[in-house]
Amino acid sequence: MGCLTTHVLDTANGCPASNIRVELYNLDNGRSLLNQSVTNADGRLDKPLLEDETFIKGRYELVFHAGDYFSALGLQLPDPPFVEDVALRFGISDADQHYHVPLLVSPWSYSTYRGS
Give the global pTM. Answer: 0.96
Range of the domain at 60: 3-112
Cα angle value 37/92/2 (rounded, 5°): 70
Pairwise CA distance, residues 104 & 48, whole Å: 18
pLDDT along the chain (116 residues), means of 10: 95 98 97 98 98 95 97 93 97 96 98 94
Positions of E strands within 44-84: 50-51, 58-65
Neighbours of 97 (CB within 10 A): 15
Helices marked H in the chain — which ranges?
66-72
Each residue's pLDDT tens digit, 39-61: 999 999 999 999 999 999 999 99
Partners of 88 in the β-ladder: 62
Domains identified in the chain, total number: 1
